[in-house]
Chain A
Amino acid sequence: MIEKVKNRGKGLLCVKTDKIVIGAGLYGLYAALLCGRRGESVTVLEYDDAPFKRATYINQARVHMGYHYPRSYSTAIKSAGYFRRFNEDYGFCVHTKFDQVYATSAAFSWTNAEQFRRFCRAADIRCDDVAPSKYFQSGMCDGAFLTEEYTYDAQILKAYFLEKIAELPHVRIVYGARIERLYRDGGDWCVRLADGEMRAPFVLNATYASSNQVLNKAEDGGFEPFGIKYELCEIILCDVSESLKDTGITVMDGPFFSIMPFGKTGLHSLTSVTFTPHVTSYDTLPTFECQKRSEGFCSAAALGNCNDCPAKPESAWPYMSNLARKYLKEEYGFSYRGSLFSMKPILKASEIDDSRPTVIRVHTQSPTLVSVLSGKINTVYDLDNILRGEE
């Protein structure tokens, strides 16, 4: 249970729990709730002032069925498997009542209509042909398909997790946590914060884009960082015309776009492969030119929340909207509501096959330091094994 002890000589309050989870995104809170329900004491350390303020909220909000990965069967089949489970567990936050249309572009697509059909058959996921002319300008798409894919609402999901965690007195979330360093001391990992210290025999690094930054603070960066690149991404929120209200459209697999319902907000998210990423960093730690202009808000050592950053980029709305309009028929109208920015790490190994595996790395055992990196919401169940291993 939670123990409070004075740190030797430093005068800082030191809290000892069974587990420390770094990052209050979906992966972090899922782990905290799972362990908390088993009676373990958990401290969640969050950089921002609230949970779900970054990647969990700022993404296309897809509950993936696997359609996105026509060049990686393994990713697709696994997504499809977790899809059902996610909908059973978190159905209350999932918006299902809309037509999700996938289309293959006639030009520049890495996958054509026939290949997409074959892929869906192999992955055993729904794929019903509809006439491309229903949605698209003549000649732009060679195939369009009605699929089964949903969108989740991060705010509803957040409320659920906070409510459930509030019922567990031994699970605590610390906001505004500034981690200075991590070091081993006996059978524990100690996390030194600017204003205190936490220790636990098990630390889970679920910080997504900040994974390498946290690792870099552990024992002077002695652990192998993830091979990732970083993209500063923009999701545009749109009001849409009546005809697009209950329809999500994704043109793939290449330099295209997607416009689909954004959870249960009534808005649509607009993204595009070419214009959603604004700037890219290939460094081990995310290093961007805009950090210099952020007035100390963000650095290569600790990422600020791009969405609140004074140096966030100008919206790519003119580009994304033009790309979408080039494909869509005029009756499918949409207009600008606002932009959300967030940092997205991409495993360098997944460029060719476009796969999105969940990477779990066990850096040390007893005391344990584990990092998890996954780009999809419904693969959160990949955490089960690693958390259960501790029992």
Chain B
Amino acid sequence: MEKESNFVSAVLYLHNAEETARGFLECVCGVLARHFLKYEVVCVNDASDDRTAAEVREFAAEHPGAPVTILHMSYFQGRELAMNAGMDLAIGDFVFEFDVPECDFDPELIFGVYQRALEGYDIVGAHAEGRTRASSGLFYAVYNRFSGSPYKLTTESFRVLSRRAINRVHSMTKTIPFRKAVYANCGLKLDSLPYRPTRECAKDRQDNAFRRGLAVDSLMLFTDIAYKFAFGMTLLMILATVFVAVYAIAVFLTGAPVEGWTTTMLFLAFCFFGVFAVLTIVLKYMTLLIDLTFKKAKYTFESIEKLSR
């Protein structure tokens, strides 16, 4: 079989994955070694407090030919930042991102998404068919409804990116709080291949909590859901104040209100109208400020450990 001459990198996210790390490396390295002349594997160790790093070192010791590097993060920084760090370190023409060290797919699918990428898709993912948690499902439903992006996001197990896509993403923004969203908005062609999962995956507690926070952040940052909600509420309240004003005038003309009531009500209605109008403008400013804060500091790493080549 003719091997691919493109240099590929695989970036693996590992957080307390001592049970799965080794098997997953076997799976990934096996496929890459079968299909590619040259490759590298970057294991991002997100401050694991178990034997994850040791497992990777043992794997490297057993496979002297496997080019494995461990990137040790200084403290737990979550999947997104850690994977960004790994992506920055990878040097491949094509880079695979493995967010979860679970090989619940046919390993050949890894090569499959790469081949799909060669057909002209800069970013190709693989997602498990019919396996979405309710919370993830809700998140993606809300996200896709409000993001305004032509590509609909799903829970992806892994994906491959071309160097062109990585360069594009780099030139768009300095920090990448939620990769998938930035990828979907980078303006290049995307695709995702479905597959039937071969088994169930275990989930990581600390990471779960982290992802809930990330979900909220992402909805705020990448969709206009918050802005739309606030804008809607403000409009509603402006309408209410206008109604109160009309009501006050009607009472003044038809009945005989207590002296001063009408002027008080009109004054209040006008003031609240002003307050809500100003709030709308403030909200607009806030959304602009979020964009600017994107350019602030990113991740912190501790060391890079090259195991072999």
Residues of B within 8 A of A319 (CB): 7, 38, 40, 67, 91, 309
Is A69 positioned at the interface, with any CB of B under 8 Å from its CB?
no
Within 8 A of B (CB), among A76-110: 106-108
Instruction: Count residues of chain B with CB under 8 A from any CB of chain A.
Output: 21
Residue-wise, chain A 131-143 has the 8 Å CB interface mask toward B (1 for contact) of: 0000001111000
Contact B309 A138 (CB under 8 A): no
Stretch at the interface among B98-106, B167-175, B183-191: B167-175
Contact A322 B301 (CB under 8 A): no
Is A196 positioned at the interface, with any CB of B under 8 Å from its CB?
no
Report how far A275 CA is from B91 CA in the complex, Å: 12
A139, A140, A255: residue with the most chain B Cβ atoms closer than 10 Å: A139
Residues of B within 8 A of A138 (CB): 167, 170-171
Residues of B within 8 A of A323 (CB): 91
B4 → chain A closest CB, angstroms: 12
Is B88 positioned at the interface, with any CB of A under 8 Å from its CB?
yes
Is B89 positioned at the interface, with any CB of A under 8 Å from its CB?
yes
B305 → chain A closest CB, angstroms: 11
Is A172 positioned at the interface, with any CB of B under 8 Å from its CB?
no
Within 8 A of A (CB), among B74-119: 85, 88-89, 91-93
Report how far A137 CA is from B172 CA in the complex, Å: 12
Is B275 positioned at the interface, with any CB of A under 8 Å from its CB?
no
Contact B309 A139 (CB under 8 A): no
Residue-wise, chain B 147-161 has the 8 Å CB interface mask toward A (1 for contact) of: 000000000000000
Report how far A255 CA is from B301 CA in the complex, Å: 13
Question: A137-B167, A139-B171 given as contacts; is B88 within 8 A of A108 (CB)?
Answer: yes
Residues of A within 8 A of B38 (CB): 318-319, 322
Residues of B within 8 A of A139 (CB): 167, 170-171, 174
Closest Cβ neighbor of A277 among chain B residues: B306
Within 8 A of A (CB), among B271-309: 301, 304, 306, 309
Within 8 A of A (CB), among B164-182: 167, 170-171, 174
Report how far A379 CA is from B242 CA in the complex, Å: 83
Question: A255-B304, A318-B38 given as contacts; is B309 within 8 A of A107 (CB)?
Answer: no
Contact B174 A255 (CB under 8 A): no
Residues of A within 8 A of B67 (CB): 319
Is B35 positioned at the interface, with any CB of A under 8 Å from its CB?
no
B116 → chain A closest CB, angstroms: 22
Is A316 positioned at the interface, with any CB of B under 8 Å from its CB?
yes
B40 → chain A closest CB, angstroms: 7
Contact A108 B309 (CB under 8 A): no
Report how far A106 CA is from B309 CA in the complex, Å: 25
Residues of A within 8 A of B211 (CB): none
Report how far A316 CA is from B309 CA in the complex, Å: 9
Instruction: Count residues of chain A with CB under 8 A from any CB of chain B.
Output: 17
Question: A138-B170, A255-B304, A275-B309 given as contacts; is B91 within 8 A of A108 (CB)?
Answer: no
Residues of A within 8 A of B89 (CB): 107-108, 255
Q: Which of A137, A255, A275, A316 contacts B170 (CB 8 A)?
A: A137
Closest Cβ neighbor of A314 among chain B residues: B309
Is A181 positioned at the interface, with any CB of B under 8 Å from its CB?
no
A326 → chain B closest CB, angstroms: 5
Is B37 positioned at the interface, with any CB of A under 8 Å from its CB?
yes
Is A274 positioned at the interface, with any CB of B under 8 Å from its CB?
yes
Q: Which of B91, B167, B304, B309 contacts A322 (CB 8 A)?
A: B91
Residues of B within 8 A of A68 (CB): none
Within 8 A of A (CB), among B234-276: none
Contact A108 B304 (CB under 8 A): yes
Report how far A138 CA is from B93 CA in the complex, Å: 16
Residues of B within 8 A of A322 (CB): 7, 38, 91-93
Report how far A234 CA is from B275 CA in the complex, Å: 69
Closest Cβ neighbor of B39 among chain A residues: A318
Is A37 positioned at the interface, with any CB of B under 8 Å from its CB?
no
Report how far A81 CA is from B52 CA in the complex, Å: 48
Residues of A within 8 A of B306 (CB): 274
Residues of B within 8 A of A108 (CB): 88-89, 301, 304
Question: A319-B40, A319-B91 given as contacts; is B309 within 8 A of A326 (CB)?
Answer: no
Contact B91 A107 (CB under 8 A): no
A200 → chain B closest CB, angstroms: 44
Report how far A137 CA is from B38 CA in the complex, Å: 23
Closest Cβ neighbor of A327 among chain B residues: B91
Report how far A107 CA is from B300 CA in the complex, Å: 10
Question: A319-B91, A322-B92, A323-B91 given as contacts; is B170 within 8 A of A140 (CB)?
Answer: yes
Residues of A within 8 A of B69 (CB): 274
Report how far A255 CA is from B89 CA in the complex, Å: 9
Is A278 positioned at the interface, with any CB of B under 8 Å from its CB?
yes
Contact A318 B171 (CB under 8 A): no
Report how far A106 CA is from B93 CA in the complex, Å: 19
Residues of B within 8 A of A255 (CB): 89, 304
Report how far A137 CA is from B168 CA in the complex, Å: 10
Residues of A within 8 A of B91 (CB): 319, 322-323, 326
Q: 8 shortest A-B CB distances, which residue pairs?
A: A139-B170, A138-B171, A107-B88, A318-B38, A323-B91, A322-B91, A322-B7, A326-B91
A-B contact pairs, 22 of them (CB 8 A): A106-B174, A107-B85, A108-B88, A108-B89, A108-B301, A137-B170, A138-B171, A139-B167, A140-B170, A255-B89, A255-B304, A274-B69, A274-B304, A316-B309, A318-B37, A318-B38, A319-B7, A319-B40, A319-B67, A322-B91, A322-B92, A326-B91
Beyond A108-B89, A274-B69, 15 additional contacts (C-beta under 8 Å) are A106-B174, A107-B85, A108-B301, A139-B167, A139-B170, A139-B171, A139-B174, A274-B304, A278-B309, A318-B7, A318-B37, A322-B7, A322-B38, A323-B91, A326-B91
